[in-house]
Amino acid sequence: MMRSDADFMKEAYAEAQKGLEEGGLPIGAILVRDGEIIGRGHNQRVQKADPILHGEMACMQNAGRQASYKGTVMYTTLSPCMMCTGTIIQFGVPRVVVGESVNFKGYQDVLALAGIEVKDLHDPACIDMMGDFIRHHPGLWNEDIGK
């Protein structure tokens, strides 16, 4: 049975929750091809003192070397920043499903301009998780997006 976008988003959400439990930013992502999860990760700024490991980047790292990203879908709990947007464009991930864009608008317009299919689930669970974190840790959030 085909898993739905909402179902795969739960996997990205579970990654974000892992990050939260570790004391980090709750942003998670998975990479799927043909219904199989081939990569997963969550933001590691705090845990590894690593500014480049946003959820989407950790996920791409975890997927490892790929000859091609044809047919892949990136699921991410939060609308991608410009680093993650550039990465998705460079490697040619053709479809991106976003949990929410209320807490961070991101660059869905840039993805679309590059010919990438974008779907925003406006997921209340993702909105609540990120909104709570930003309210309690505004400094960490601003550092994470370079503000």
Angle formed by the axes of helices 124-136 and 5-21, nearest 10°: 20
Give the Cα separation of 144 and 44 in Å (integer). 10
**Residue 4, amino acid:** S
CB of 17 to its own copies, least distance (A): 22
Give the closest residue to 20 by CA, choosing from 78, 79, 80.
Answer: 78
The residue (of 17 and 66) whose beta carbon lies closer to its own copies is 66
- Amino acid identity of 73? V
Total Cβ atoms within 10 A of residue 50: 13
Binding mask 15-54 for its own copies (x = CB under 8 A): ------------------------------x---xxxxx-
Is 56 known to be catalytic?
Answer: yes
| Residue 84 in the binding site for its own copies (CB under 8 A) | yes
As measured in angstroms, the least distance from the Cβ of 41 to its own copies is: 10
Question: Among all residues, which ones are annotated catalytic?
Answer: 56
Q: Which residues contact its own copies (rule: CB under 8 A)?
A: 45, 49-53, 57, 60-61, 63-69, 81-87, 89-92, 143, 145-146
